[in-house]
Structures are given as C-alpha cells and as structure tokens.
C-alpha cells in the first residue's frame, strides 16, 4: 500500500487528525508543523485518496456491517484484530464498521442479524454465517438490493456475493490427512471426528478434504464416530468422553472446529497417550495442548489477515476504488504448527 495518512502522521511525529487538518486546510495547526507535514507528503509521494475523500463528504459515514459467531469463540479475536487494523487505516475516509457478535450457529439468529445490519443502512456486509437455503436466499436478496456481500472465513454455496476472504478448508483437510499419514505409517486408524457445526461449510470441507486424501493415499482407516459440538467446549468434552468410552478402538481424534479445550480435557482424563489428536487454529488453548503433547499438530489460517482483507474489499466496493485485489477471493495460507514451532 502507498503512503497513507497514518504513515505520514508517524513520519511527522504528529496525530492523524493533525495531518488531516493540514492536508485539507481546516483547523489550526502551527505553521512550522504544517510546513513539515506538507514537505514530508511531497517527499514521500503521498497521493490523496479521492474515493475516501468522496465518502468523507457524506453527512453520515457509509456503513460496513460485520456478522461473526464470536461469542465464546476466541478464534474470532484474531479476525476482530484485523478488522480493527483496517478501521484504523481507513479512519477519516468516511466509513463506519458495525459488528454483530453472535453465539453459535442458530439460523434464525443469523438471519435476524443480517436484517438488522441492512436496516442500519449498511452498504457492504462481511458475513461469517451458516450455509443454509434460507441464508442463501437472504444473501441473494441483499446483493439484489445493491449491497456488497463479502463472505468472511466461511463460504456459502451458490450465492451472489462480491468475494470470499478466508481459508481453503478443503486444502486444510488434505494437509491434515497427509501429515497424519506421515506420522502413523502402517497403523490402521480408527478415527473420531469432532466437528463444530454441520451448518458451517468450512467445517464440512475440512472433513471432505481429510477423508479424500486418506483414500488417495490408500491409508487404512475407519470413521468410528462423528459428533457435533456446536463449537462448545463443554459439549465437546462430553461427546468425546462418551465416544472414547463407547469405542475403545479409537486411536485418532480429528477436531474440525472449536471445542478443542473440551476435547483436550477429555483426552487428558482418558489417559491414553497413544491417541493422536489433530486440531485447527493456534489459539492459546490449542498451543498449550500441543506443547503438552496432547495434540500432535495444528493447521492454522491467519485470522487477522482475513479480518483486514474483508474490510479492505468492502471499502473498495463502496468507494469505487479499483486495483488488482478488488472483488477477488482472498485465501490465507495453510500453516502447520507443531511443538517445535508453536509460540
């Protein structure tokens, strides 16, 4: 990105507000400070953001709505950090971000939240939401009204949307299976799958990629049980403990969503150190379980980058800014963390 008001303020050692007043000839700034800012702007090649200035000319900020099932799920802290970075970068450019935080994947709650964001006048929506027919209809309805829809972290099938920003979940599942095959060699795997929600496409894609790759590798395996914890640690612990009791042959646990703390607690209580556990996302609990040897490896997806790039694309859409990233899908890297490289 080029020189911004933020970077110019940092170089000049003043606030962004001071830079804004100098560049737009408003307010009172000491002549020597104004001169320094103008000279730096020229030296650094600052180019005014015309689209941002056009948005700023509106009496009210143009709203970007965000829907996250983030209540009780610390993974989304990283996404929110990225959103806040974007908010800071686009400060003074005529946008406002409204975030709706929900708990879990109740379809009616998600639909209601989208309606509320639309009623607030949001010109763009960044949605982490359920993959259901009712939500598909809702997203298409928003798009037909001229609202730009960015799917954030979770894709929804067959909808009219601007773009997707998030992980390639199928690829992450393939990566998990490949690593598992490397460390288990000729061991026949009896697998317990603990998924977050069948309503979330990404969780399902992690399962599909995982199973497809195990088959491609001619790995001997059996899915002994598959349980759905709704991203709840309490439910995950209960269901994992019950499965381990009912199916003594389980030697691998594959966790495709949140609930990893509950799964870890169940494995610790069970006491069988030969069970191989795989999980996603380097949140604090997952890191500690990797360090303790309870989880063998974690596949991660850069949530902060997802949050930032979703807001960036929403801003581009409502401001009319066009560059090579405008309206394009953005996939974060698939990263592998083990005990030796997890911080």
Among candidates 195, 11, 222, 221, which has minimal Cα distance to 105? 195
Judge whether 98 and 120 are in contact, CB under 8 Å: yes
**Mean pLDDT, residues 275-302 taken together:** 96
In a domain, 115, yes or no: yes
Domain count, the chain: 3
More confident residue, 15 or 158: 158
Same structural domain, 133 and 212: no
Q: What is the pLDDT of residues 127-142, one digit of tens each?
A: 999 999 999 999 999 9
Structure letter (DSSP) for residue 75: T
Q: What is the pLDDT of residue 2?
A: 65
Of the candidates 222, 215, 128, the one whose C-alpha atom is nearest the C-alpha of residue 166 is 128
Neighbours of 218 (CB within 10 A): 7
- pLDDT at site 94: 84
pLDDT of 49: 63
Chain length of the chain: 343
pLDDT range class, residue 58, cuts 50, 70, 90: low
CB 343 within 8 A of CB 287: yes
| 320/295 same-domain check | no
Report if residue 338 sits inside a domain.
no
User: Using CA atoms, how far apart are residues 127 and 166, in angstroms rounded to an integer?
Assistant: 11
176 and 277 both lie in a single domain: yes
Is the confidence at residue 207, as pLDDT, over 70? Answer: yes
pLDDT tens-digit series, residues 75-108: 999 999 999 999 988 877 789 999 999 999 999 9
The pLDDT score that the predictor gives to residue 126 is 98
**Across all residues in the chain, what is the average pLDDT?**
92
Of the given ranges (3-12, 131-140, 287-296), which has the lowest mean pLDDT? 3-12
Task: For residue 43, name the pLDDT band (cuts at 50, 70, 90).
Answer: confident
Mean pLDDT of all residues in 232-247: 98
The pairing of strands 148-152 and 163-166 is parallel
Domain that holds residue 218: 169-300
Task: With beta carbons less than 8 A apart as the criterion, state whether 204 and 196 touch.
Answer: no
Looking at the structure, tell me whether residues 279 and 229 fall in a common domain. Answer: yes
* Same structural domain, 133 and 103: yes
Confidence of residue 57 (pLDDT cuts 50, 70, 90): low
Task: Concatenate the DSSP letters of all residues of 215-258 into one string.
Answer: HHTT--EEEEEEEE-TT-HHHHHHHHHHHHHH-TT--EEEE-SS
Is residue 82 assigned to a domain?
Answer: yes
Q: Round to whole Å and give the CA distance between 255 and 240.
A: 10
Could you tell me the CATH number of the domain that includes residue 295?
3.40.50.2300
Instruction: List, for residues 22-33, the tens digit of each pLDDT value.
Output: 876 766 788 888
Q: Which residues pair with 254 in a beta bridge?
A: 193, 278
- Name residues whose C-beta falls within 8 Å of residue 299's C-beta, 6 or more positions apart in sequence: 172, 175, 176, 278, 279, 280, 334, 335, 336, 337
């Amino acid at each position: 990105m080029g020189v911004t008001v933020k970077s110019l303020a940092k170089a000049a050692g003043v606030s962004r507000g001071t830079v804004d007043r100098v560049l737009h000839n408003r307010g009172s700034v000491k002549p020597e400070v104004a001169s320094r800012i103008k000279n730096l702007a020229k030296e650094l090649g600052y180019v005014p953001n015309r689209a941002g200035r056009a948005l700023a000319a509106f009496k009210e900020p143009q709203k970007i709505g965000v829907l996250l099932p983030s209540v009780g799920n610390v993974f989304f802290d990283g996404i929110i950090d990225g959103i806040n970075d974007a908010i800071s970068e686009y400060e003074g450019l005529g946008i406002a971000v409204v975030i709706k935080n929900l708990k879990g994947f109740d379809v009616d709650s998600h639909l209601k939240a989208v309606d509320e964001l639309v009623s607030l006048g949001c010109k763009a929506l960044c949605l982490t939401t359920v993959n259901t027919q009712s939500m598909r209809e809702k997203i298409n309805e928003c798009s037909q009204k001229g609202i730009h829809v960015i799917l954030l972290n979770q894709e929804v099938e067959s909808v009219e949307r601007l773009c997707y920003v998030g992980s390639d979940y199928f690829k992450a599942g393939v990566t998990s299976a490949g690593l598992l095959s490397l460390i288990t060699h000729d061991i026949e795997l009896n697998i317990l799958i603990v998924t977050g929600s069948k309503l979330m496409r990404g969780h399902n894609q992690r399962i599909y990629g995982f199973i497809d790759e195990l088959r491609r590798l001619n790995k001997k395996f059996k899915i002994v049980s598959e349980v759905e914890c709704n991203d709840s640690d309490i439910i995950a612990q209960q269901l994992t403990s019950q499965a381990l009791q009912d199916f003594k042959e389980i030697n691998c646990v594959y966790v495709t969503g949140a609930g990893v703390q509950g799964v870890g607690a169940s494995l610790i209580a069970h006491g069988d150190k030969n069970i191989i556990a795989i999980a996603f996302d380097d949140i604090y609990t997952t890191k500690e379980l990797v360090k303790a040897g309870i989880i063998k490896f974690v596949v991660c997806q850069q949530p902060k980058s997802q949050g930032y790039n979703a807001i960036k694309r929403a801003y581009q859409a409502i401001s009319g800014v066009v560059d090579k990233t405008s309206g394009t899908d953005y996939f974060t890297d698939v990263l592998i963390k083990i005990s030796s490289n997890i911080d």
